[in-house]
Amino acid sequence: MHVPSPSGPLHRAQPYALGLFRAVVGLLFACHGAASLFGVLGGRNGGTVDIGTWPGWYAAVIQLAAGGLVMLGLGTRSAAFLASGSMAYAYFVVHQPESLFPLTNGGEASAMFCWAFLLLVFTGPGAFALDGLLAARTADATARAERAPVTA
């Protein structure tokens, strides 16, 4: 079995592939929340969940907020942890009592989102994340401040 070199093209592309994965998963998750909250994008047959209903409205808020944060790469690990947990809850409380397997209980999306977000908790955001840009700007500002002469 051939193992790719740690310096090969696939290895070098890994942060970019991870960044695209994060952005797409976050966008898809946010779309679920927007569909439930605002009745857009063809979700819920044009209807919305009633404000404050458990667990649907809270799940939709988490989907929209956490999905948006993950898509942008802002607080990715924390937002992904929250999203993963909400999808684990959705799977085990809503879908799994109907049947054991996701294919027969309608829980494929919940299971896939749960595992995708859990992966992001451990890998981080990859390339193109706002967290990376903000960290670079902060480090740059700190370095400039350290180089500046002290005046009294």
Domain residue spans of the chain: 23-126
pLDDT at 80 over 60: yes
Tokens found for residue 3: 């193992």
Mean predicted lDDT score pLDDT of the chain = 89
User: pLDDT tens digit string along 109-138?
Assistant: 999 999 999 999 999 999 999 988 877 777
pLDDT at 44 over 70: no
Which pLDDT band, with edges at 50, 70 and 90, does 11 fall under?
confident
> Cβ(18)–Cβ(28) under 8 Å?
no
Give the predicted TM-score (pTM) of the model.
0.83
Question: HSE on the CB side for 107, CA within 13 Å?
Answer: 22
Question: Can you give the pLDDT at residue 10?
Answer: 87
Alpha helices in 40-129 (DSSP H): 56-72, 76-89, 102-105, 108-123
d(CA 122, CA 151): 45
